[in-house]
Structure 1
Amino acid sequence: MQRFLLPLLCLSLCSGADRLSDLPDPLVGTDSKYELSRGNTYPAIFIPYAMAAWTAQTGDGGWPYQYAKDNIRGFRMTHRPSAWTIDWGSFSIMPGTGPLKVLPDQRGSKFQHANETAKAYRYDVLLDDYKTKVSMAPSAHGGILRFTFPKEGDAWVVLDANNGGSSVEIHPESNRITGTNSLTARGSVPGFAVYFVAEFDKPFTSSGTWDIKGAKDEAKKRSGPHTGAYVGFRAGEVVTVRVGTSLISLEQAERAMKAELPKADVDAAAAAAQQVWDRALATFEIQGGTAEQRKTFYTAYYHSLQFPRMLNETDAKGETVHYGLYDGKVHAGPMFTDIGFWDVFRAQFPLLTVASPSRNAEIMRAMVHTYEEGGWIPTWPNPIERNVMIGTHGDSAVADAYMKGIRGFDIEKAYAAIRKDATLPGTGVFKARLGIEDYLKLGYVPADGGVQESAARTLEYAYDDFCVAQVARALGKKDDYERFMKQAKSYRNLYDASTGYMRGRNRDGSWLTPFDPLDWGGVFTEGNAWQWLWSVQHDVPGLMALMGGRDAFLKKLDELFSTTTDFKVGGYKQVIHEMTEAKMGEMGQYAHINEPVHHVIYLYDYAGQPWKAQKWAHEVMVRNYKPGPAGWLGDEDNGQMSAWYIFSALGFYPVNPGQPIYAIGSPLFQKASIRLENGKRFTVEAARKSEDEIYVQSATLNGRPLDRSWISHSEIVNGGTLRFRMGAQPNEKWATGGLPTPDETYAASTGGAGQAGK
């Protein structure tokens, strides 16, 4: 039914000036730099979850496009998922006129934002120095670019195969340039390369290749650390180039190009991409709020649809195949990369379980393939495991999917993979849980055991163990369930009642000294003791008890938002951008700019004061998510920052992935509907007379009174209407009963059978 609903929907919502695809703003988050992140994004044009994306390029390194710069040096086919990672297998294309310039620092052109248009499905800009207009549109494995050259001056196009090992070959007889780029992460299999085919629709008037120093000649082939090609055209020509890429072969790259871009027509390709975006964005229908808020919502969803990057290819038989990143072989089925589980397990993957469960299942299959081919599920693949950040949060993604009823993947193999995370040290390129031997022996990762970020690791390992335990229980593995639930209590070993914080602990049981809750780093990851105190989302009642009960818990939670915004560099020994951004947030020690606190606002629901969750969720939405290149604060982080906004704007949030419930906050829009894949619709309505009415006064679910600050996943996917009556003052009597524990949720979902195997 769904395949018929969305095309019909797009007849009404996806036409003319009101098309959903025109609402996302790819320039949001691009006014960023090393010292200060306003999103750390680039204006990517892409098909959702596609292998290839494109961006105008104002520089090299982690920030390929910075809004403050006024010089474009190329149009880059990019695989960069973050400013802090590598752009594996990339290449750039740059047109120009006059004397040929091939090196990045020499070939750039001034441009003006007034002559720049960025959409999810196309990008247009005028290069002032060359009087050349550039238009480009994406496809799943490539893209298409059009260069409109002026009537005077020699015209040329440079293809920069980039660093990391590359090759190019010019084929004048077919108006093609083919080549490879081999930049990848350390530890990749020999022979790794991205293959590309670039086919022009006009004959070359000249051609040649160049090397890393810019030395050029008319040779038709070249390989080396950094190579490129150039081709010439007549003045005044309009030149279009179609591009296909593959991880498997040049033949596969050509196959993708011909299938996805059957003709040299940028406008047709952009129109096709726009239809894809219209359908994707139509998952949500938003009414009310301001025009800026609606634009922000769809920009957030655009961000959330970029990663993970799916590496699926279609072979000559029409079958889905992928290149094995860990063994160099071609395998059947899907593959994924470019995703930081430390960030996205919190909201990005839970969003998939609601908005696109079929895609979630496909990613689960890809995760199983990674386990089969590499022996582990990665924590941060780019394109292979990079061992960036902490925890094994693929465990969370698997548990959340399975506990929400998503099937279509081999759960026994997935369980074997996450069980391995919880029991064994990593091997090969997979470091998995550093310090796991001590963690299993002592119940924590010791601060003096040679492993950095020991307290944060302990807290996140405990949560991951909870996730493994949930799958074990669902599969009837009682002994495993009990074992991992015991490990999930390891967080208790780091709570110091004398200070009221989680702390680093030495191997002999003594506390690491000196201690200052404002110190960043050291035993914590990108934060301090204030932010990491709350990383026990899987056992909030247990944390509450450690802290002295509900009242003490609430007092500390209030203090989080009201205390000083000051920080100390601590173990980092210098200011890092997150510290600056956290202080700019002006919410005490609550640092929304980074992921560890993303669930914390909703802990007020657990403690029986949901009106405070409503207040702070709304406050963050209006402060941290604004339009424009500098409108956001903090890293986008693969769509996690956006997924938080999407859930919070809808009015509910997944505090504890692996437990299929959502805590209620403050809905932003008058009406928000989710078109579910099963053909049903879940709608959230918020009746308010003015925008300052942010507090829930009462609620109904499908017409029945709702006096609880949570809803279940099944209540969402079964469709229905959640209706709120909002007011300007908090109702301190509504929904004060807290949230159910995971055991209570499981018992309810199994008809009261709360034990493993029943």
Structure 2
Amino acid sequence: MMNCSATADEPVDLVYPHLDSVNSRWFFFDSASRPFGLVNLSPDTGLGGAWGSGYRYNETEVKGFSHVHAWQLSAVSMMPISSNQDIADIKQDYFSNFSHDTETVKPGYHKLHLDRYNIDVELTSTTRVGFHKYDYPKGQPQQILIKLGGEMGPSKFGHGEAHLISPTAIAGYVTNQATHRRPRPSKVYFHAEFKQKIADISAWRNGKIEPNVTGTSGLDAGLLVSFDSKGDAPSEQLMKVGISYVSEENAYANIATELPHWNFKKVVTDSKHDWNNWLSKIKVTGGTQQQQQRFYTDLWHALQGRRIISDANGQYTDQTGTRAIVKQLPLDSHGVPLFNHHNSDSFWGAQWTIATLWPLAYPKVASDFTNSLLQYHQDGGIIPRGPSGGNYTYVMTGASSTPFIVSNYMKGIRDFDVELAYTALKKNHSADGIMSRAGYEHFTQTGGGMQHYLEKGYIPYPLSETESLYGNHRRGPGQTLEYAFQDHTLANFAASLDKKDDDIYYRARSKNYRNVYDSESGFMRPKNVDGTWQTPFDPYQYENGFVEANPAQGTWNVAHDIDGLASLMGGKDILISRLEAAFETAKKQGFTSGTAHADESLEEFRRTPINYGN
């Protein structure tokens, strides 16, 4: 913690949740959730695709309130409506306009008004349970639409199921079909408990309408749940939705453990306090109010993406093999899980940013992440670099979990099996490990170029014709620099464990970046399989041997040996002069390649020497 005096506002009050929500993606925006929560409940204004979906500020319609906004995963959209139309018409047209003028968004809480139905909606959550509060117009129909099929963000849904299990409860599951990134389907289970009794259920599935049912099962399925709205029936409806990757029973158990009451206001207050406690780990003063808002908003975002996937009892679903298997995390003497199991977007970019934050400000989280990564190794044989729903995704390139685990050890976070971790990381840095796989290379081990790296000390660009058939991001010199840095961190780990031979071996590999430096051009440059340089060569050509970057940007990726890079360039003065010139040029371009990830490939944005946007 930085011991500075407190600001006038509590950190939680300085968070601006709408920041960057205009150009968002499925798992970016958050409102009704807890730090790293399994449940991430919020309105969806966009449904199609991972990049243009979720809560998008400039979209004018709410299309449902879904409970999982995670890396390659979504689940269980529910929408309160008030309509006298037939279910066949409702399911085709139920979206509602809303206005930001009547909206309140805070960490752990979201409130808005559905203009079409005149319904006030409030949302909050615990770690694994979404909590809804709907205020319907008095005397008008009170209904909730539960969507089990279709598409939400990164996922298209397969078989879904929901059934009545009591007068006030419905349980079931949705199936996230496999994606290019997540190769196995993933089920997400739910248990929905209502404060008022259910009066009627209608359903649809496979294009057929089914009135007066107790459930449904099939493709493109859903339910319309109705409640009594006549006479003195209350206009307020409360709903608790437990979520689990394991079973309906565990979804219910998560409710029993985390939310056994119906006090909505208490959960809102508890969530605010929870967020404030996490954000207060770092205190800042000085600057403007806007700068402090930006800091705590960014810190709030840093406490979201690595979603929990284990239940309150420590059970989780292992999807690293050919079939899904329910397993149990280790428990302490009181039956409490020793750590949470997590999803994760790529550690590829995070190794330079938020992965350095967690062990400093949130050591328990860093410990959980480390033990979670080792659990994947024990289950599937490899430490991942971005798992999703218990699946390996092989997102991006390299062994980007290595710097994170080594950093934790160096900072004294050692409540994990150190020898197991070291053995697992060594495997990741071999031809049998994750370094051998390019992005999303699920079933082969060629796109990572590891054989070339081990034999030649660099990865060619392009790879040979047969090797380049599989995987994304096959960018030889960029991968070479990345592997060299990660080898450096593994060498440091070996030295700390007094493994002298390994230290010597990996430290030598960490110098491989020199093999792709071209002294004539002054840049890291693509090298062919036969050892010749790429000709012609343009250092500002986007993705010319570098992942989501150009050679001019990638040349600086030698963080572990700046003196060595300076020597290659002709001395420190030359390095400093070149770096200064790169920043001066990039300053004119706003230090980014446009305003969105997609802009980087456009000619007018791609020729920049520094890109903070990626």
TM-score by length of 2: 0.86
Sort the Cα spacing of 1:534 and 1:407 in 2 relative to 1 into closer, same or farther, 3 A: same
Q: Is the 8 A contact 1:578 1:593 kept in 2?
A: no
Residue 167 (structure 1) shift:
2.6
Aligned position for 2:250: 252
Using the TM superposition, give the Cα deviation of residue 274 of structure 1 relative to its aligned residue in structure 2, in angstroms: 1.2
- Cα 1:173–1:362, aligned 2, differ >3 Å: closer, same or farther? closer
Instruction: Check whether the contact 1:188–1:326 (CA below 8 A) recurs between aligned residues.
Output: no
Report if the CA contact (8 A) 2:44-2:64 is conserved: yes
Q: Structure 1 residue 481 and structure 2 residue 503: aligned?
A: yes
Change (3 A) 1:582 1:354: farther
Aligned with 2:20 (options 12, 15, 29): 29
Question: What is the letter of the counterpart of residue 413 of structure 1?
Answer: L
**Counterpart among 71, 75, 95 of residue 65 in structure 2:** 75
- Residue number among 77, 80, 84 corresponding to 1:92 in the alignment: 77
Which of 451, 464, 468 in structure 2 is aligned with 1:437?
Answer: 451
Q: What are the Cα deviations for residues 553-600 of structure 1, in whole angstroms up to 9, with x where unaligned? A: 011101212337789xxxxxxx9323569949xx95211001xxxxxx
Partner of 2:239, secondary structure, is strand
Letter in 2 for 1:113: H
Q: Deviations over 1:211-237 (max 9, x none)?
A: 254744333232223321111123462
Tell me the residue number matched to 1:299. Answer: 297
Q: Determine if contact 2:244/2:310 at 8 Å carries over to the other structure.
A: no
**Deviates most, 402-411 or 205-214:** 205-214
Is contact 1:146–1:266 with CA below 8 Å preserved after alignment?
Answer: yes
d(CA) in 1 for partners of 2:259, 2:189? 17
Q: Does the CA-based 8 Å contact 2:145-2:222 persist in structure 1? A: yes
Report the 3-state secondary structure (helix = DSSP H, G, I; strand = E; otherwise coil) of the residue aligned with 1:285: coil
State the match for 1:615 in structure 2: none
Q: Following the alignment from structure 1 to structure 2, what is the Cα–Cα distance between the partners of residues 117 and 110? A: 16
1:247, CA displacement in angstroms? 1.6
CA distance in 2, matches of 1:370, 1:79: 22
Deviations 1:454-505 (A, max 9, x none): 1111110111111111111111111111111111111001000110110110
- Residue of structure 2 aligned with 1:356, choices 358, 362, 367: 362
Rounded Cα–Cα distance in structure 2 between residues aligned with 1:54 and 1:523: 40
Change (3 A) 1:105 1:483: farther
**Other structure's SS at 1:507 match:** coil
Residue 493 of structure 1: aligned partner: 515
Find 1:181's aligned residue among 154, 174, 194: 174
Q: Is the contact made by 1:563 and 1:589 (CA closer than 8 Å) also made in structure 2?
A: yes
Q: Which residue of 1 aligns with 2:96?
A: 109
Other-structure match for 2:56:
66
SS at match of 1:371: helix
8 A Cα contact 1:335 1:370, kept in partner:
no
Alignment match of 2:543 (pick from 494, 513, 521): 521
| Deviation digits for residues 414-473 of structure 1 (CA, Å, limit 9, x no counterpart) | 111110111123489476771101111111111132442111111101111111111111
Where in structure 2 are the equivalents of 1:672-687 lying within 5 Å? none
Aligned to 2:569: 547
Query: Is 2:566–2:575's contact at 8 Å kept on the other side of the alignment?
Result: yes
Q: Is the 1:46–1:52 Cα contact (8 Å) retained in structure 2?
A: yes
**Pairing 1:293-442 to 2, within 5 Å after superposition:** 293-315=291-313, 320-327=314-321, 328-333=325-330, 334-383=340-389, 384-426=391-433, 429=442, 434-442=448-456
RMSD, aligned α-carbons: 3.0
Cross-structure match for 1:146 = 133
Tell which has more relative contact order, 1 or 2 (C-alpha 8 A, sep 6+).
Answer: 1
Aligned residue for 1:125, secondary structure, equals strand
Deviation for aligned residue 1:152: 4.1
The alignment partner of 1:229 has SS state of: strand
SS in structure 2 at match of 1:210 = strand
Which string of whole-angstrom CA distances, capped at 9 and with x for unpartnered residues, describes residues 150-173 of structure 1? 024322101112342243333273
Which whole-Å CA distance do the structure 1 matches of 2:115 and 2:9 have between them?
A: 31
The residue identity in structure 1 corresponding to 2:278 is A
**Contact 1:155-1:233 at 8 Å conserved across structures:** yes
Indicate whether 1:47 and 2:39 are aligned: no
Asked if structure 1 preserves the Cα contact closer than 8 Å seen for 2:164 and 2:215, the reply is: no
Structure 1 unaligned spans of 5+: 568-574, 595-758
In structure 1, the residue corresponding to 2:366 is in which secondary structure?
helix
How far, CA to CA, are the matches of 1:582 and 1:65 in structure 2? 29
Alpha-carbon distance change, 311 to 514 in structure 1, aligned in 2, over 3 angstroms: same
- Does the 8 A contact of 1:170 with 1:208 survive in 2? no
Checking the alignment, whether the CA contact within 8 Å between 1:73 and 1:104 is kept in structure 2 is no
| Greater Cα shift, 407-416 or 57-66 | 57-66
Cα separation, 2, equivalents of 1:455 and 1:479: 27
Closer, same or farther in 2 for the Cα pair 1:296/1:190, shift >3 Å? closer
Distance 2:27 2:189 in 1: 28
Residue aligning to 2:228: 234
Q: Distance in 2 between matches of 1:473 and 1:146?
A: 56
Q: 1:511 offset after TM fit, Å?
A: 0.7
The DSSP-based 3-state class of the residue aligned with 2:511 is helix
Summarize deviations over 1:363-409 as a string: whole Å, max 9, x none: 11111111000110112212322222111101111111112221101
CA distance in 2, matches of 1:124, 1:386: 35
Letter in 2 for 1:91: V
Query: 1:20 maps to what in 2?
Result: 11
Shift of 1:20: 2.8
Query: Does residue 589 of the first structure (1) align with residue 604 of the second (2)?
Result: no
Q: CA deviation at 1:517?
A: 1.3
> 2:142 aligns to what?
155
Alpha carbons 1:403, 1:470 under 8 Å: kept: no
Post-superposition shift, 1:68? 0.7
| Cα separation, 1, equivalents of 2:550 and 2:526 | 11
Q: What per-residue deviation string (whole Å, max 9, x for no partner) do you get for residues 250-281 of structure 1?
A: 11111111221122232121111111112111
Aligned to 2:333: none
Q: What SS is found at the alignment partner of 1:446?
A: coil
Give 3-state SS (helix, strand or coil) of 1:231's partner: strand
Q: Secondary structure at the match of 1:423?
A: coil
Give yes or no for contact 1:162–1:228 (8 Å, CA) kept in 2: yes
Identity %: 28
- Which residue identity lines up with residue 167 of structure 1 in the other structure? G
TM-score scaled by length of structure 1: 0.70
Matched, 1:557 2:579: yes
| 1:209 to partner: Cα distance | 1.8
